A and B are shown apart, each in its own frame.
Chain A
Amino acid sequence: MKLHPMIAALRKHKAGVVLIALQIALTLAIVCNAIFIIGQRIDRVNRPTGLDESNLFLVTQQWVGAPSADTPDGVAKLDAMQKEDLVALRNLPGVASVAPINSLPLLNSSWNGAVSLKPDAKFSDTGNNVRTTYYFTDDQAMSTLGVKLAAGRWFNAGDVQNQGFRDNPPRPIVIVTKALADKLFPKGDAVGKPIYVDGSSAPSTIVGVVTRLQVPSTGSWVNGFTWNATLVPTRLDAGFARYAVRTKPGQLEAAMKAAAPTLYKVNPLRVLDDDSVKSYADIRAEAYRADVGMAILMGVICLVLLSVTAAGIVGLTSFWVGQRHRQIGVRRALGARKVDILHYFQLENLLIAGSGAVIGIVMAIGLNLWLMRLYQMDRLPVVYTLIGVAAVLVLGQCAVFVPARRASNVPPVTATRAA
């Protein structure tokens, strides 16, 4: 089929053609960026934290009238209280292991700093420092969190110290994540090497490397160090404490229910409210709520957008079919087969949608650049544009099929009748 007569015919109804092409271009521009946002959010939500997330819950509690963590005496009392809690939780039926910990990945409450290969590094010395989050925990954390060791060893009971929340004692040994170890020691020989935490002058020896552990924050400000974590074998003593609890399979709910009464039995003077005992699944859902929501919203908008555009194509093509009823009849009378008429409308749509898609690609990239400048979006990869182009072309073909088939069913006898 020759394109020339088709283009000549399109010139006869410029406005309709321009409108459909424009609509397809806009649809493509928005859909590409929306699908890109969806893809990014799904990637974000699906990245593993490094924990074994099933059968894990977290208790956050606060003592009332607790001794001050700023005096050695108070720290000793708080530590004794914390140890009592740990023993009680560890003795709960269905509980596999318990570890005190200041935060968990995705909890959005964190203690961050920087580690360096040199002593006494200033925080602002970004050349020598690598940013990291700190997890303060104990020897039970490996089995409780379900993290995997890549090299070296885990903490043993003798390594575990305790400190007041705002104190800053030397930290003789640490475990780091592989991401952090690779940044500090690109040769992969981190175990046994000294590092300096938070500009300290005392070295901390790396005794182990874990394969993966995410930082607690999910905000964009941690993008530079999402996988940089340093584990310190220390119980933090303060007016509040967090305990990570791993249960035996199938015992999660029962153990969660038993946690609060058990702790109240140890010491009733404490705050344990609805939010205090949280399964890890809930922590994850809460952390990514906004991302999942944004993905759903973009999905809904894409769906509406594509439906509206499809409906527009059906509407305008139907109008053209009606307008050209007689011409179709003439063509049929002159020997065109049904399938020729069908193909005519399909090709015509492909032509319009194709030119719309070309404009749409430009608009999609423009919109992406604009979003990048205003809202720190990432660059749109080519593959999303291609998916978008394929989507609008297929959409156009699907939408045009019904009116085109109606056109192909116009009987040749129409040619002989007055319009």
Chain B
Amino acid sequence: MFAYYLDLALRSLKRSPGLTALMVLAIGFGVAASMTSWSVFRAVSGDPIPWKSAQLFVPQIDNWGPSNNPLSQGEPPNAMDYADATALMRDHRAKLQSAMYQISPSVVPAEATKHPINVSGHAVYGEFFPMLDVPFQYGSGWGASDDTNRAQVVVISSKLNQKLFGGANSVGKSVNIESHDYRVVGVLKDWNPQPRFYDVVNSGGFNSQSDDVFLPFLTAIQANMQNDGNTNCNAVPKESGFVGLQHSECVWIAYMAELDDASAVSTYRNYLQGYAREQQQNGRFGWAPNNRLRNLPAWLDNQHVVPSDTKVSLLVALGLLLVCLVNTIGLLLAKFLRRSAEIGVRRALGAPRMAIYAQFLTEAGIVGVAGGVLGLLLTCAGVASVGWVMPKDIAALARLDVSLLLLTLLVAVVATMLAGLYPTYRASRVQPAWQLKSN
């Protein structure tokens, strides 16, 4: 029976090629627009570390107090000052944790003929690597003793390893960073999570350029390696220079901790509360503790990592799909009711309503498949040209993959079948007697 309906549908579609083309075009464009925006939205709103994001937490401590409220509406600063970050590291209450700050040092290649290059990176603690499951190609991160001893070690990206050592195993070799020699202990695999969840405050979430060097936090501080990211102050530092920044209440350090279960989270929460109360008692904070401890998804949401432009585009594109569907309902209705006579004959010859449903939904399905195929092609074109209309760092994330293509086809067919429901219902209600009489 299905083959028969298929044949009927194809005949009917061929009979009015203009109308058919209109429907297919509408579905194709509608689906392609929404799928293209979806591919961007999916990329920017994705979980960068899905297997662990619920265990990663970002603590915030209010070291500015209520005087900052007119600007912050009671939220603590979104980064930490040096005193709090190092105190939390010293207390070491989470399973794994790391304070980190963004650096942008110069690296001098060994060959004298090459000009120095500028790299970006982070100064982190050794626990950063196991905490974030950072993949290594060669070697590994450094240990706790390297942190406390301010060891001259470095972990470099595969890209920098390619540039400096031609991609060979460079563990044990030395790299000249800001005129100091650092021993390579690890080379990362290609690793550039998007959003850059470990420091969204400084990366703004998305950055197509990967971090190329990771140095021990205290080593970088000792080497006077200045922070490259944002520095926010509620007052001008009393002392000058980088050391003055470290002694100030200015916030510039990101912090992340791994807490594996609910009890660990509540223990850590209590610890933060106790820490802030202690600061209040010794006179540093003139206000009650005001901390936050958000897990990674909540933190990314709080920091508005997904650009609102992306969300608005998705919304508008879905609106376009909706209009295309309303359009398809109208055209299918016109098309189906034009064949009232044919329906009348079929019904008079004994076809049940279900048969009419099957026949016309088959027809709608075919339109859906055709629209889907057109939508596939347009989605490919859309994803390829998204770089024209979106910021580079975000456009680079939009990818075409099998799941997107299948989704495109599925959305097209399901949406068209849904659009076909009402016209089919109307077709099935055609009174055979009335149709036969008028002819």
How far, in angstroms, from A298 to B104 measured CA to CA in the complex?
37
Verify B308–A376 contact, CB threshold 8 A: yes
Closest to A296 in B: B389
In the complex, which residues of chain A have a beta carbon less than 8 angstroms from the beta carbon of B226?
165, 238-239
Verify B330–A64 contact, CB threshold 8 A: no
Contacts of B320-339 to chain A: CB distance below 8 A: 320, 322-324, 326-327, 329-331, 333-335, 337-338
**Contact A124 to B70, CB < 8 A, known contacts A69-B241, A301-B316:** yes
Closest to A269 in B: B116
In the complex, which residues of chain B have a beta carbon less than 8 angstroms from the beta carbon of A30?
316, 319-320, 323
In the complex, which residues of chain A have a beta carbon less than 8 angstroms from the beta carbon of B390?
290, 293
Verify B115–A16 contact, CB threshold 8 A: no
Interface residues of A (CB under 8 A from B): 15-16, 19-20, 22-23, 26-27, 29-30, 33-34, 37, 62-65, 68-71, 122-124, 126, 164-168, 198-200, 238-239, 264, 268-273, 289-290, 292-294, 296-298, 301, 304-305, 308-309, 311-312, 314-316, 318-319, 322-323, 367, 371, 374-377, 419
Given contacts A70-B242, A293-B389, A374-B311, 8 further A-B contacts (CB under 8 A): A15-B426, A37-B312, A271-B117, A305-B320, A311-B22, A315-B19, A315-B22, A315-B331
Closest to B389 in A: A293
In the complex, which residues of chain B have a beta carbon less than 8 angstroms from the beta carbon of A71?
241
In the complex, which residues of chain A have a beta carbon less than 8 angstroms from the beta carbon of B234?
122-124
**Contact A273 to B333, CB < 8 A, known contacts A30-B316, A199-B235, A311-B22:** no
Residue B300 at the chain A interface, CB threshold 8 Å? no
What 6 A-B pairs have minimum CB-CB distances, sorted nearest first? A70-B241, A293-B389, A65-B179, A319-B334, A375-B308, A19-B330
**Contact A164 to B240, CB < 8 A, known contacts A27-B323, A304-B29, A309-B323:** yes
Verify A273–B241 contact, CB threshold 8 A: no
**Contact A309 to B327, CB < 8 A, known contacts A68-B224, A124-B68, A168-B240:** yes
In the complex, which residues of chain B have a beta carbon less than 8 angstroms from the beta carbon of A123?
233-235
Verify B33–A304 contact, CB threshold 8 A: yes
In the complex, which residues of chain A have a beta carbon less than 8 angstroms from the beta carbon of B313?
294, 297
Tell me the minimal C-beta distance from A101 to chain B in angstroms.
19
Closest to A23 in B: B326
How far, in angstroms, from A308 to B328 measured CA to CA in the complex?
10
Verify A164–B241 contact, CB threshold 8 A: yes
Residue of A64, A264, A374 contacting most chain B CB atoms (<10 Å): A64
Residue B26 at the chain A interface, CB threshold 8 Å? yes
How far, in angstroms, from A121 to B242 measured CA to CA in the complex?
24
Residue B111 at the chain A interface, CB threshold 8 Å? no
Interface size counted on chain B using CB atoms at 8 A: 68
Verify A168–B237 contact, CB threshold 8 A: yes
Verify B333–A16 contact, CB threshold 8 A: yes
Verify A290–B319 contact, CB threshold 8 A: no
Verify A199–B334 contact, CB threshold 8 A: no
In the complex, which residues of chain A have a beta carbon less than 8 angstroms from the beta carbon of B50?
none
Closest to A319 in B: B334
Tell me the minimal C-beta distance from A33 to chain B in angstroms.
7
Residue B243 at the chain A interface, CB threshold 8 Å? yes
5 intermolecular pairs with C-beta atoms under 8 Å apart: A16-B333, A70-B241, A168-B240, A312-B327, A375-B308
How far, in angstroms, from A315 to B336 measured CA to CA in the complex?
13
Residue of A268, A273, A294 contacting most chain B CB atoms (<10 Å): A294
Verify B33–A16 contact, CB threshold 8 A: no
How far, in angstroms, from A367 to B316 measured CA to CA in the complex?
10
Closest to B317 in A: A301
How far, in angstroms, from A208 to B309 measured CA to CA in the complex?
39
Verify B330–A312 contact, CB threshold 8 A: yes
In the complex, which residues of chain A have a beta carbon less than 8 angstroms from the beta carbon of B137?
none
In-complex Cβ contact of B118 among A62, A122, A319, A323 (8 A): A62
In the complex, which residues of chain B have a beta carbon less than 8 angstroms from the beta carbon of A312?
22, 26, 326-327, 330-331
In the complex, which residues of chain A have a beta carbon less than 8 angstroms from the beta carbon of B104?
62
Residue of B115, B117, B178 contacting most chain A CB atoms (<10 Å): B115
Verify A311–B327 contact, CB threshold 8 A: yes
How far, in angstroms, from A110 to B309 measured CA to CA in the complex?
23
How far, in angstroms, from A20 to B233 measured CA to CA in the complex?
57
How far, in angstroms, from A68 to B224 measured CA to CA in the complex?
8
How far, in angstroms, from A308 to B33 measured CA to CA in the complex?
13
Verify A316–B240 contact, CB threshold 8 A: no
Chain B 69-104, CB-CB to A under 8 Å as 1, else 0, gives 111000000000000000000000000000000001
Verify A64–B106 contact, CB threshold 8 A: yes
How far, in angstroms, from A166 to B245 measured CA to CA in the complex?
8
